[in-house]
Structure 1
Amino acid sequence: MGHGVTASDGVTYVPGELDRDATFYVAGHRGLVGSAIVRRLERAGFRRIVGKRSAELDLKNRDAVFAYMAEVKPKYIVLAAAKVGGILANSTYPVDFLSDNVRIQTNVLDAALNNDVERVAFLGSSCIYPKFAEQPIREESLLTGYLEPTNDAYAIAKIAGIMHTQAVRRQYGLPWISAMPTNLYGPNDNFSPKGSHVLPALVRRYDEAASIGAASVTNWGTGTPRREFLHADDMADAVLHLLEHYDGPEQVNVGSGHDVTIREVAETIAAVVGFEGETLWDTTKPDGTPQKLLDVSKLADAGWTSSISLEEGLERTVAWYRKHAGSLRG
């Protein structure tokens, strides 16, 4: 397998502008991250972006994935497909999050290797890092401590994806990379009460409360954990930038480099949706990791920084949510 790359992580591959006429497969193209990547690729002038909805192609079906990859023969792939959810979903269905995600990424990566795909970006999550990793979290913190128990099964699956990508580099010399985003939000997010992450769950909760003039809203935990948030459009921009400017075996953190408390996020969302009631905190519910802030020095060294502020991103997200609220899942 060539592409001018030396096996065992040789350095002969030089990143550069991707071929806008080549077939570009975005796995998970309808989701939060995948749809943002499609929008970014379209703006960049890519003309052959392909993808299949899960109803059309079950990525857990190995034979179907191999057949599809052989048919479309992509030159580039972004693997953004995953089974995702918040603390409740991860705690309740750890088998599903481990099994489904390992199968999805193994099938896609193996099929990509079988078809000699030149450039692959595997997307993971910041939950791969130890629960009490030193803040801000550097890429080198991977596998240096215990994971957060509420989402350890999902984290292990994503760590397996990083290792898979690194193994392909070592064994076959292909310039595949992996990126680990912080907490993402934006259009096409999951806003369901039971399956969503914290920010979309708060958007829905406060918007519904504002619409009926509720006196109060009750959130999980203490509101003190600190979280970093990145708009999906920023994430998509970073992924394309990395594909064209970065090559290396180590995963790259993708974030804003700034964090806020959950209480501050809730207050900002309340203001954006126009909720004027009281916010209560159910301290019998878990907080999760006390802080998750990524060190984004490697990303900055590659020439990229985020440009969408949290307030601007929330205003965009609330506008999108209100426009599509009638057709959202759950």
Structure 2
Amino acid sequence: MKIYGNKALLAQTARMVSAGREPHSIIIHGEKGLGKKTMAKYIAAQLMCEEHSGVPCGRCRACQLIERGAHPDLIFAQSNDKGNYLVEDIRDSIVGDAPVAPNEGDIKVYVIPDFDLSIQTSIQVQNILLKLIEEPPDHTALILTARSKEAFLTTIISRCVSLSVTPVTMQESGEFLQANYPDRSMEEIREALEAGKGNIGRCKAYIEQEQFYNAVGLARQIAQAYAGGSEYGFLKALAGADGKKSLLREALYLFSELLRDACVRLANGDAVGCDTALADALSRRLTLSAGTEIYDKITKYIRRIDANCSLGLVCNSLCADLF
């Protein structure tokens, strides 16, 4: 199981496992695309590997079952079609099942991915999990993933080992893309790298998912128009997402990242969004305080999209607000 980057985090959990101090509750947090679910699977292998060295051997039955996605004691919770975890499902499939001994080996690992997307049931589910986290059976471990640690109650955070995943290097992203997309040209690899940089998930999405590819293009059009002070160009770019809620939301989120990068550039930092040159162009138009204010405005309009406001009204209001 090849893991790129975040070696210090994996070394931390490896030391705990090899010393016999296996963590029973873990929160993995970081932005979308950084491999939180892959890391959760790797940590499960650290916990379940029959050699108990802290580094999955890849040879034992447990490691092989995990690699094939067939280990009966590695359980990934399933959300409904709206991304919410149902209280009764968590109560039955995790809390109620936890006292039952593992089918194989010494430990059972439950993974609840993308917990922050379970907006409607987050608090109720955490309250149900709290007892399990406070007094876990010796043979269980729980791994939660989310984009931000803020998705969790302080009572949950205080009882979990928190691991903050970070982007990998451009070199590691390039190695991943070349290894996994050998049929792609170097130009396509370079484009994917610029769009995702150290976020391998985004690099993959740029190659594999038409919507993300289009969202990157739209975000660049929006940023170019704003950097050039063209209100018409800005509104024309937004019109390209007319009736396409998810595309508009993704593009505005990417635009907000370019604004964030512009502020970072003004503070002499490195850009990590989908277009370094555009972040530089935006930084020449903005001051640090203005960039921060516009970033907050974009975030506000993304929330309006999430609240199902009219997309046409959102686009027109945003354009008027920014210009």
TM-score (norm 1): 0.32
Larger relative contact order (CA 8 Å, sep ≥ 6): 1
Higher helix proportion (structure 1 or 2):
2
Higher strand share: 1
